[in-house]
Chain A
Amino acid sequence: MTSGLLLSLSGDASAVEQALAQLRACPVLTLGDRQGSWLTAALQTSGPEESERWHRWMQGLPGVGDVEVVFVHWDDEGDRHHEPA
């Protein structure tokens, strides 16, 4: 599963720098352009559950204000159907 993300960075400069260091070290994340307090990224995981875990991890980092999703492709999950509620 591949997602395009737009992160809003917030907080003091050191928090933002620490967040950037952790994001750069994340094995499933590729960082893209940064303009001001915004940063683009691509997240590639084995499926939605893993994506959700990483999403929450990013959201919880000091220095990260918001993580918004702008693109998602899941064709690589095959024909798996979802469980009923």
Chain B
Amino acid sequence: MNLPEPDRRDFLRTTALSAAASALAARVAAHGPTPPGGTELPIVPGVTWDKAPCRFCGTGCHVQVGVAHGKVVAVSGDRQAEVNKGLLCVKGYHVGHILYGKDRLTTPLLRRDGKLVPITWDEAIDVIAQRILAAPDKFAFYGSGQWTVAEGYAANKFIKAGLSNNHIDPNARLCMASAVVGYISTYGVDEPYNCYDDLDYCDVLILWGNNFAEMHPVLFSRFIDRKLRGDAITLIDIATRWTRSSERADHVMIFQPHTDLAIANCIAYQVIEAGAVAREFVERHCVFRKPWKKPDDPQTLLGEPCSFDEYKQLISTYTPEAVAQMSGLSVEQLRLLGRLFIDRSKKICSVWCMGVNQHTQGTAMNNLLHAIHLLSGHWGRPGDGPQSLTGQPSACGTVREVGTLAHALPGDLRVDNPEHAELAEKMWNLPAGRINRKPGYHTVLMWEKFCTPSEQGGDIQTLWVQVTNPGQSLPNANKLFEAKQRLPEKFLIVSDVYPTTTTRLADLILPSAMWVEKNGIFGNSERRTQQWFRMVNPPGEARDDCWQIIAVARRLYDLGYPGMKDKDGKFLFHMTDDHGKEVEIWKWDQYYGRINVDERLYEEYRPFTKIKHKDVAPYSELVKSRGLRWPVVQQPDGSWKETRYRFIEGLDPYVSSGKGVQFYHSVGKDDRAVIWFRPYVPPPEIPDAEYPFWLDTGRVLEHWHTATMTGRVAVLKRAMPSGYIEMNSEDAAELGIRNGELVRVQTRRGALELPAWIDGRGRCPRGHLFVPFFDENRLINRLTLDAHCPFSKEPDYKKCAAKVVKVTA
């Protein structure tokens, strides 16, 4: 339908108003699963619509993507999506534009004599295969929480079933590994028991080091919307600096970095002091543990059991008065937190993300957040519990569930558990012993081994990066990334959609398809698995990351590499059509053809998820839905039902009748959760006379992580064009620094010049600096610390010691 321009504008205006009216209807019926009426798609001439999760964060908003003439031309919030109910944030608003930056990578490029030259895909695949054949044990894969489920599954199988070296780890190690270990060491199994519905039902929302307003804006507005409607709800922001989240908070509590452990312990102290322990719940469903501390033993995750009395004794030093001295919070603020947890009549939802996870005591801090909720009985009712959030769209789906971590196998299994490894070998039809029982290198170690000369123990020779930008996001990047420049024997392969800080040092660059240029499945922060179909073609020679992996695997198979065969001699990624004829999916012209490779890989993976009762839904059900929260279990009538709350009888189908609450994968195999005592442990680097400031790093609303996508969206780039350093106004005045002036920030690892932003969007307390990491021309991660949590191996990007001087001409 071609309309004259004035009519067309009128038509689009009406369409926009109609879409907004539908979102309004959804808002009015805020607790309803589906907005009344108006779930139909906007009708725009020549535009066809299909669903997809947003490409950016871990929230998992669904969008409707409008396509015309082979291009994405429109985006609408998906009104059938329970997560976002038709709304989008400023990044989601522009998500369609990320496909069309003019510097898209469109052909494979190989570095020859220092210059990148175009080569064919066939040559590129051969280069990788030959590098692997030369030293399969020295090859590593660095992936991502932006990998789709099928991509991560293929990479995991390629490394663990094919190369048997386990050197695969994702960038999610840098953002949520502490949450993983926190869940496993508390409940015996990973991922939240609860879901975003808590935001609709809580009386109090506590943000633990989490700038919710900028990092998960749609979820934040879901809560704030209740405040605007007049609900008597309270927002508490426990943070190290003032942010946009603080602006909406009823109580802002600015604490000294790293003392969050003491604050959490202080809440536990007050609950015990007031006699407010949820005694019946704790006695029936919990046990206590403490760290195992012997002089000659390293700290272990297992720890040892302790009694309630012993726990009470250990916590007894965390009085409000003592913790006020450490944390910078007032005794009254600590008492306020204590009173909230003592009062069972109010439902408290705690949420956290990087502030808690990127922490040298990240696992411990996760344990403590679960502990204060379990101890006080603020656990299990909708709106009353602890819940971690993720930063990437499939950190949960691809990393945690598919198990693309160096120690993991799909379905929460471990390579170093012989029963698990044997089970995986059976499910993958592998010869016994094919899966290496030794975990591979975690992220920091992997890059350290890659950036260390071979003769000095740097035993990773070839590293393939997909869907991430470690050159900008790794901590202490001079050591863990830039050092590669001095090591000509090391070979870096990067699959990406745009040139990045990482491709700058790549020896081979592979152009990738992205988002709706390929089929995909993501898993969001609330256990929701989401599916979409390819809607447009990728540009030039760009191809799916999953195809790239399968093509390399097949080349190795053809070259006789035994690991690429199962125990019957079949290719690891053998697939047949409906007539039983093999489909040569390693050939690009057959990848999208007779079969849906994504569906085949997902259905091959799905049985793994049943082992620990994380049953993801059949692919066909995902196609019909806007995502389903696992475990998804078939009902007697043949329908499939998702699970909003785990471990609770009546809500979780795997809880035995009469149990009430059952932690059925518990650490002690006793159906009980663990309430951990975790002491305050000082950070590895603290400000001193030479480096007197705390340096904190993080994200901003306009850009997603390293801005490789949002940096191509002109309006977002203009809104936030470059990096800066936030300073406290009194600190700046003392140093003679005015707003916008160039300053030099230095740590023991490097230095960087940035313009100062004094009391701007974020406001630092005295002695505190903040620098966002999105700017590829101002790489703050050359300055950050690679010290990491001893259990999760997640680095601490949130605090190191720094000094600042004004740059004079």
Interface residues of A (CB under 8 A from B): 2-6, 8, 10, 30, 32-33, 35-38, 40-44, 48-49, 51-52, 55, 65-66, 68-75, 81-85
Contact = CB atoms under 8 A, between A and B. Distances in A.
A32 B101 contact: no
A69 B499 contact: no
B776 A43 contact: no
B715 interface: yes
Interface centre among B14, B23, B101, B499 (most CB of A within 10 A): B23
A4 B21 CA distance: 9
B89 to A, nearest CB: 8
B353 interface: no
A69 B217 CA distance: 12
B228 A8 contact: yes
Given A70-B87, A73-B73, A75-B68, A2 B715 contact: no
B589 interface: no
B717 interface: yes
Nearest to B86: A70
A75 B5 CA distance: 13
27 contacts: A2-B13, A3-B16, A3-B93, A4-B16, A4-B17, A4-B76, A5-B20, A33-B20, A35-B24, A38-B24, A38-B27, A40-B17, A40-B20, A42-B16, A42-B20, A49-B715, A69-B92, A70-B86, A70-B87, A71-B16, A71-B75, A72-B76, A72-B94, A75-B68, A82-B102, A84-B498, A84-B712
Contacts, number: 163
B499 to A, nearest CB: 7
B15 interface: yes
B712 A69 contact: no
A41 to B, nearest CB: 7
Contacts of A72: 74-76, 93-94, 96
A83 B15 contact: no
A69 B76 CA distance: 8
B17 A69 contact: no
B719 interface: yes
Nearest to A67: B90
A84 B16 contact: no
Interface of B: 9, 12-24, 27-28, 42, 44, 47, 66, 68, 73-77, 86-90, 92-94, 96-97, 100-103, 221, 224-225, 228-229, 498-499, 707-708, 711-715, 717-719, 776
A49 B718 contact: yes
Contacts of B776: 85
Given A32-B17, A70-B77, A85-B776, A37 B97 contact: no
Nearest to B225: A8
B142 to A, nearest CB: 22
B12 A44 contact: yes
A6 B27 contact: yes
B94 A48 contact: yes
B228 A65 contact: yes
A37 B225 CA distance: 10
Contact of B93 (A44, A69, A75): A69
Contacts of A81: 100-102
B229 A37 contact: yes
A73 B101 contact: no
B44 A82 contact: no
A72 B92 CA distance: 10
A68 B221 contact: yes
Contacts of B89: 68-69
A1 B66 CA distance: 14
Nearest to B499: A84
A8 to B, nearest CB: 5
B23 to A, nearest CB: 4
B19 to A, nearest CB: 4
Contacts of B103: 84
A66 B24 CA distance: 13
Nearest to A68: B87
Contact of B224 (A3, A4, A66): A66
Given A42-B20, A49-B715, 9 more contacts: A2-B13, A32-B21, A42-B16, A42-B17, A43-B16, A48-B715, A70-B88, A72-B75, A72-B76
B40 to A, nearest CB: 13
Contacts of A42: 12-14, 16-17, 20
B379 to A, nearest CB: 31
